[in-house]
Structure 1
């Protein structure tokens, strides 16, 4: 009895190994799904549609800017609002920690952080964002909640810095004196 069961299992296994006319490229299963191609070359040909003449080997690029899709232009800070650099310099003059200073203004747009700021300077202790208007600054400060402080169009962001609440207050006070 055991050998008869083994023979049936082997026969079923071997039956699945053969090829029939339905196994040719382009064949489909009974439910309409395409069967896998017989070779890697056929699989590559199926996966990558043929590029138009003259386009082979080129990668897809963003469409050029037009009226429907204009390039993003970083806004300007409002007149009378201190620059992010001036804020960081004031922190340094007040003896506050401003290590690893980096101008990240390029990250303000949609390809970066996407918050729509006009200027951004980051340090180990705080990031200084300057927005085009106080409303935009307020919206962003609300998102960062207790991890941020806003004065006009300038937002101090302490998210992930580990800066203590007592030290944050000192940064806030220096910003208040600039405005």
Structure 2
């Protein structure tokens, strides 16, 4: 019986040792890494770890998100046929005398590197953001997520989250879109 216990404890020790060797330091620990508050994990007295050259070939395509080999590359959706472009909507707001300060094209945020909500176009202003979706179903779903801070007409959604646009002003933007779409 003593021999079995000794054999069992030896086997357990070997398994634990094997498990611990697999728990080595990850690349963030090896390279110093940072804590959540931005402080470096590397000791103050140690030299900084060398970093990889910016043009080093790591086998991944440049400028694209890392995807599994079985995942097809992401293609941005196209706007629904017959839906006005986000630029046309913003121009209609301007023509109606509505404020559209600080216009920014944020269409790249529609894809996997941004919010990934599946829009085809996005123009943001300080008063309203204009989303154009590939179809009405996707636009309806996203409007339901945003609730009362959004207005939908066809495949175009106006989003007022994070703006100081009053209810009266929102109604004016909504009416212009309703006439346009």
TM-score range, shorter chain: 0.5 to 0.7
**Aligned counterparts, 1:14-29, within 5 A:** none
Consecutive unaligned residues of structure 2, counting only runs of 5 or more, are 1-15, 32-50, 62-66
The equivalent residue for 2:153 is: 151
Structure 1's consecutive aligned runs of 4 or more residues displaced over 2 angstroms after TM superposition are 31-34, 56-67
Consecutive unaligned residues of structure 1, counting only runs of 5 or more, are 1-30, 35-42, 50-55
**Aligned counterparts, 1:9-158, within 5 A:** 48=30, 57=52, 63-64=60-61, 68-158=70-160
Larger Rg over CA atoms: 1
| Cα deviation code 1:53-102 (max 9, x no counterpart) | xxx93679684567612221111111110000000000000000101001
SS of structure 1 residue aligned to 2:151 = strand
Q: How many residues align?
A: 134
| Cα deviation code 1:123-177 (max 9, x no counterpart) | 0000000000000001101000000000010000000101001100000000001
State the TM-score, normalized to the length of structure 2.
0.65
**For 1:61 and 1:92, how far apart are their aligned partners in 2?**
48
Alpha-carbon spacing, 1:70–1:171, altered in 2? closer, same or farther (3 Å): same
**For 1:118 and 1:131, how far apart are their aligned partners in 2?**
5
Alpha-carbon spacing, 1:98–1:70, altered in 2? closer, same or farther (3 Å): same
- The CA RMSD over aligned residues, in Å, is 3.0
